[in-house]
Amino acid sequence: MDLAPLIRNIPDFPKPGIQFKDITTLLLDPPAFRHIVDTWAERYAAKNVDAIVGVDARGFIFGAALAYKMGLPFVPARKKGKLPGETISEDFALEYGTDTVEVHIDALNEGQRVVIIDDLLATGGTVAAVARLMQKLKVEVVEAAFVVELPPLKGREKLQPLEVHTLVEFMVE
């Protein structure tokens, strides 16, 4: 299924020069949403995955649906201060400053195998931080999966040696 036509482009959001890829229009198409979840469920069925880790916030949409489909636990990786229990955190660089992502310290057990899910791979900073959190928990990341990738921003390179899977690419700067 060609997902690209279902993803809206919003010029100059959140700031001038950015071409924002809006997946909310894709979510309005149930067969497309089902295609994404079913494709990933099939992909990860034979990989002995123990849990799905969804990245705040749009990764929650796809990650939770995938966890439900596969009958697996869903672990939210949230922005700092959003989780109520004891957490571990990891800082990452933004274009202007830094941000922090956290997971509950008891969300996963050592040796478990997870897939990290997010909507879009741009520079890769957020998912790289989530992957470092998984290392701290001694959890194996099987793969990071994204609906959209923006290859010119070289996020895939930042995530190496992590395996990356994407469903659609846009060649934007």
Q: Is residue 117 part of a domain?
A: yes
> Torsion over CA of 73, 59, 23 and 164, rounded to 10 degrees?
-100
**Which residue among 58, 90, 102, 143 is the active-site one?**
58
CATH number for position 119: 3.40.50.2020
- Residue 151: inside a domain, yes or no? yes
Q: Please name which of 27, 24, 37, 22 lies closest in space to residue 167, comparing C-alpha atoms.
A: 37
Q: How many domains does one find in the chain?
A: 1
Active site residue 58: yes
Reading the chain (173 residues) residue by residue, the pLDDT tens digits are 999 999 999 999 888 888 899 999 999 999 999 999 999 999 999 999 999 999 999 999 999 999 999 999 999 999 999 999 999 999 998 766 789 999 999 999 999 999 999 999 999 999 999 999 999 999 999 999 999 999 999 999 999 999 999 999 999 76
Q: Answer yes or no: is 19 within a domain.
A: no
- The domain of 146 spans 48-169
* Total-model pTM: 0.95
In angstroms, the CA 96 to CA 80 distance is 17
Examine the residue annotation and report whether 173 is marked as an active-site residue of this protein: no
Residue 139 has phi, psi (to 5 degrees) of -110, 140
* Chain length of the chain: 173
Q: Write down the catalytic residue from 8, 43, 86, 95.
A: 95
